[in-house]
Amino acid sequence: MSVLGLDIGGANLKAAHSCGIALSHPFELWKQPGSLADALRGLLRQLPAAELLAVTMTGELCDCFETKRQGVEAILDAVAAAAAGQAVRVWGSDGCFRDVARARAEPDRVAAANWLALARFAGRFAPRGAALVVDIGSTTTDIVPLMDGQPAPQGRTDPERLAARELVYTGIRRTPVCALLGADGAAELFANTQDVYLLLGRLAEDAEDRRTADGRPATRAAAAARLARMRCADLDSMTAEEIDELARNIRDRQLAILAEALATVTGRLPEPPRLVVAAGAGEFLVVDVLARSELLRRVPLLSLADRLGAELSTAACAYALAVLAPASVTGASGSD
Amino acid sequence: MSVLGLDIGGANLKAAHSCGIALSHPFELWKQPGSLADALRGLLRQLPAAELLAVTMTGELCDCFETKRQGVEAILDAVAAAAAGQAVRVWGSDGCFRDVARARAEPDRVAAANWLALARFAGRFAPRGAALVVDIGSTTTDIVPLMDGQPAPQGRTDPERLAARELVYTGIRRTPVCALLGADGAAELFANTQDVYLLLGRLAEDAEDRRTADGRPATRAAAAARLARMRCADLDSMTAEEIDELARNIRDRQLAILAEALATVTGRLPEPPRLVVAAGAGEFLVVDVLARSELLRRVPLLSLADRLGAELSTAACAYALAVLAPASVTGASGSD
């Protein structure tokens, strides 16, 4: 059975075909919710046809929608329009797929469930006993405990997962630096973590990418100017060394937040984890986070990017759906 | 000598005439730097004519400008255009006025100096010995030490003042809530402190005001929805009580930051302050901050809003310029 997995976020659309082809497409949903169906059609046209569309979403949290229920409705409308009669199944935080009508009736279940698809998929690589999936994305990080290869989360909804530290709202591109610097910088949207990792050489420059705080390019020079502004300074008054030091300081704060969350989640496991599965566009940070943790420093690490390749790994939640759907839809897999 | 004081910020333009009339006008400079001259002309038309324009600015930090030098240039261009030949003097962080040509040559001095005008003006109300000016604005807070009624700051430029905690980049309207919640909420621009103080009844609702995170009105209902989103929740899933508790939590974090900064600045004084002069649109918070401080709880408080009235107090830096300029421009006052 051929499946096309779709992961509809607030800032990115990701699609992956069960044959192993994937695409990621930046799409700022909150700025143009009315264009989602067209954007999805454009994405689908670039991939092989499939018997089934398997869908998950996080974009319902965007503030173009008054409530998440309204967001789920709008996203399902766009999916139905783009599907043009093709079979659609929607993944939920109960680990089940349902049709669109059922999904509309259960907005709480289909909202923000992509982490569970990835965790269930990643569980295939996990040994018996306890393990962790750590997926550092552009905007958020998911930390999901596994027991015997099955997801064993404390929270299911975003608010529950946020409180449980299984969802850490920090990532390698879109996180406003003011959310990390707090009172030690300007409380303005002057810079994002993308600027930090551009400067530290962990993300590649892209002069075409202007999804930055000031609309200037995602280059190291422009990133340095954006970061200087976080100290109410500029390139005339801060040296390159000082700006690099600031970038490292911000990176360290983000690592500390992630390490603390990882310690909290790990602390609830019945035994130390035997494996950490690292995933996401920010996979490179997982090693750094583990290095800060006394408990996790020596735990084996499995890189999803190594296993799947960069393209599938970037769209890993979508690919997980494409892999999980056949068994689930035909009834072979129940809920977690 | 009649003077019109102008305080050109990144989000607000403020003007005050020495006769005691003032105006504040929201203007998002970073979105439309090319319209500044027109906006200033509009403001000037609404006030009585004056022999002198006395100018200060903070808008040069806006990220529509590549550097602060470029920002100062652009703002001075707009001032010169709006002044249409009228005499202009520009205030600096050395406590002196200069003409526009001189100001262009000293961008570091004329950038972000409005705090010093207010502090020198407020010093008129201060006793001998140590005192503090605490000006909580919509975006930032200035804490300026006074000795014998004269400003005695540790820092002069924004970066210096930020490091010295004399500039605290937090205010009652524009501060992104993610800068206060950090990892305990969504690192998105979903809500500002205006939402917090709307919900807590400290700011009045204004259905016409859409300078909010989601572009919906500055009403309590819309503010509640914005705050709920900070916990990845919405009005369907959070009760009014839970959202009120979140608002108090955010307020408490802001008060803690302000109290810590106040303690740092107070700790550098040679003696406990004998007076706190409270100013700004967030004057109402000063009492709450002082109440949290063992050292300052019993220090007499002078409210600039009580002294000047709400209108002049909101444009207090501009009014301070209008009051200070005659003596300074005619040479009676030197630098601090």
Query: What's the predicted TM-score (pTM) here?
Result: 0.96
| Amino acid (one-letter) located at A26 | P
Q: Do the Cβ atoms of A67 and B108 come within 8 Å? A: no
- Tell me the C-alpha distance between B293 and B272, whole Å: 12
Give the CA count within 13 Å in the CB-facing half-sphere of B247: 25
Q: Check pLDDT > 80 for residue B331.
A: no
What amino acid is encoded at B203 in this protein? Answer: L
A62-86 mean pLDDT: 97
Q: Measured between alpha carbons, how far apart are the two ends of chain A, in Å? A: 23
Among B178, B252, B289, pick the best mutation site for testing chain A contact (most A Cβ within 10 A).
Answer: B178
pLDDT tens-place string over residues B308-317: 998 999 999 9
DSSP string, A162-227: HHTTSEE---SSS-BTHHHHGGGS--SS--BHHHHHHHTTSS--BTT---SSSSS-BSHHHHHHHH
Alpha helix locations (H) across chain B? Answer: 36-45, 68-83, 100-105, 107-110, 114-122, 158-163, 178-181, 193-199, 220-229, 240-267, 283-291, 304-308, 310-314, 316-329
The average pLDDT across B269-294 equals 95
Cβ neighbours for A44, distance < 8 A, ≥ 6 positions apart: A4, A15, A82
Give chain A's mean pLDDT: 96
B180 CB neighbours in chain A (<8 A) are 182
B170 contact residues in A (CB cutoff 8 A): 183, 187
| Ramachandran angles phi, psi of B263, nearest 5° | -65, -40
Task: Please indicate whether, in this complex, the C-beta atoms of B183 and A168 are within 8 angstroms of each other.
Answer: yes
Label residue B335 by pLDDT band (50, 70, 90).
very low
8 Å CB contact between A271 and A130:
yes
Q: Are B75 and B100 in contact (CB under 8 A)?
A: no
Reading the block at residue A334, the tokens are 């129940």
Q: Do B236 and A187 touch (CB under 8 A)?
A: no
- Residue B269: which of B304, B247, B299 has the closest Cα? B299
User: How many Å apart are CA B250 and CA B178, to the nearest integer?
Assistant: 10
How many angstroms away from the CA of B224 is the closest CA of chain A? 11
CB contact under 8 A, A232 and B188: no
- A222-252 in b/e form (b: 16+ CB < 10 A) is bbbbbbbbbbbbbbebbeeebbeebbeebbe
User: What pLDDT is attached to residue A186?
Assistant: 98
Give me the sheet containing B3-8, strands edge to edge: B22-26, B12-17, B3-8, B52-57, B87-91, B97-98
Q: Determine phi and psi for A27, rounding to 5 degrees.
A: -155, 110
Q: Could you tell me the pLDDT band of residue B294, with boundaries at 50, 70 and 90?
A: confident
List of chain A residues whose C-beta atoms are within 8 Å of the C-beta of residue B217: none
pLDDT for the residue A330: 66
**What confidence category does residue A136 fall into, taking pLDDT thresholds of 50, 70 and 90?**
very high
Alpha-carbon distance of B290 to B271, in angstroms, equals 17
- Chain B positions touching A158 (Cβ under 8 A) are 232-233
CB pair distance less than 8 Å for B187 and A167: no
Taking only the tens place, the pLDDT of each residue in A222-273 is: 999 999 999 999 999 999 999 999 999 999 999 999 999 999 999 999 999 9
User: Which residues does chain B have within 8 Å of residue A169's beta carbon, measured at their own beta carbons?
Assistant: 183, 185-188, 232
**Minimal-distance CA residue of chain A relative to B178:** A179
Determine the pLDDT at residue A287: 95
pLDDT at B330: 66
Interatomic CA distance for residues A71 and B18, integer angstroms = 52
Residue B42 pLDDT exceeds 90:
yes
CA gap A241, A250 in Å, rounded: 14
How close is the nearest chain A Cα to the Cα of B12, in Å?
15
The shortest C-alpha distance from A13 to chain B (Å) reads 18
Q: How far is B21 from chain A (nearest CA, A)?
A: 31
How far, in Å, CA of B193 to CA of B249, rounded? 12
What residues of chain A lie within 8 A of the CB of B108, using their CB? 237
**Helix axes B240-267 and B283-291, enclosed angle (nearest 10):** 80
**What is the per-residue pLDDT for A152?**
98
CB contact under 8 Å between B232 and A261, yes or no, is no
What does the pLDDT look like over B297-330, one tens digit per residue? 899 999 999 999 989 999 999 999 999 999 887 6
Longest dimension (CA), chain B: 64
Percent of chain B with pLDDT over 90: 95
When pLDDT is averaged across residues A55-80 and rounded to a whole number, the result is 98
What residues in B contact A171, CB-CB < 8 Å?
187
Q: What is the pLDDT of residue B327?
A: 87
> Which residues in chain A have Cβ-Cβ distances shorter than 8 Å to B67?
225, 234-236
Contact B187 A257 (CB under 8 A): no
- Inter-chain CB proximity B159 and A232 less than 8 Å: yes
Q: How far is A179 from chain B (nearest CA, A)?
A: 4
pLDDT at A329: 74
Q: pLDDT tens digits, residue range B173-227?
A: 999 999 999 999 999 999 999 999 999 999 999 999 999 999 999 999 999 999 9
Residue in A with minimal Cα distance to B59: A232
Q: Rounded to an integer, what distance in angstroms lies between the CA atom of residue A161 and that of residue A152? A: 12
Region B111-119: what's the mean pLDDT? 98
What integer pLDDT is reported at residue A172 of this predicted model? Answer: 98
DSSP symbols for B4-25: EEEEE-SSEEEEEETTS-EEEE
Instruction: Kindly list the residues from chain B whose CB atom is less than 8 angstroms away from the CB atom of residue A236.
Output: 67-69
pLDDT (mean) for A17-23: 97
Chain B residue whose CA is closest to A236: B67
Residue A179 has its nearest CB partner, among B69, B157, B179, at B179
Rounded Cα distance between A35 and A29, Å, is 8
Dist. CA A232–CA A238, nearest whole Å: 10
CA–CA dist B82, B212 (Å, integer): 29
Interchain contact, A236 vs B68, CB within 8 Å:
yes
Helix A240-267 to helix A283-291 angle (10° resolution) is 80
A333: pLDDT confidence band, cut at 50, 70 and 90? very low
Q: How many residues does chain A have?
A: 336
ipTM > 0.90 (yes/no): yes
CA–CA distances in Å: residue A175 to residues A13, A99, A196, B7? 18, 34, 10, 32
B238 chain-A contacts, CB cut-off 8 A: 159
Of A90-94, A148-152, A325-329, B117-121, the poorest mean pLDDT is in A325-329
- Going by pLDDT thresholds of 50, 70 and 90, the confidence category of residue A148 is very high
pLDDT at B334 over 80: no
Nearest to B233 among A159, A171, A225 (CB): A159
> Are A178 and B181 a contacting pair at CB < 8 A?
no
Per residue in B268-280, pLDDT (tens digit) is: 999 999 999 999 9
Question: Once rounded to an integer, what is the mean pLDDT over residues A10-22?
Answer: 97
Residue of A nearest to B233 (CA): A159
The span from the first CA to the last CA of chain B, in angstroms, equals 23
Mean local confidence (pLDDT), A131-138:
97
Cβ of B232 and A158 within 8 Å? Answer: yes
Give mean pLDDT, residues B226-239: 98
The predicted-structure confidence for A259-282, as pLDDT tens digits, reads as follows 999 999 999 999 999 999 999 999
Is pLDDT at B336 greater than 90 in this prediction?
A: no
Tell me: pLDDT of B19 over 80.
yes
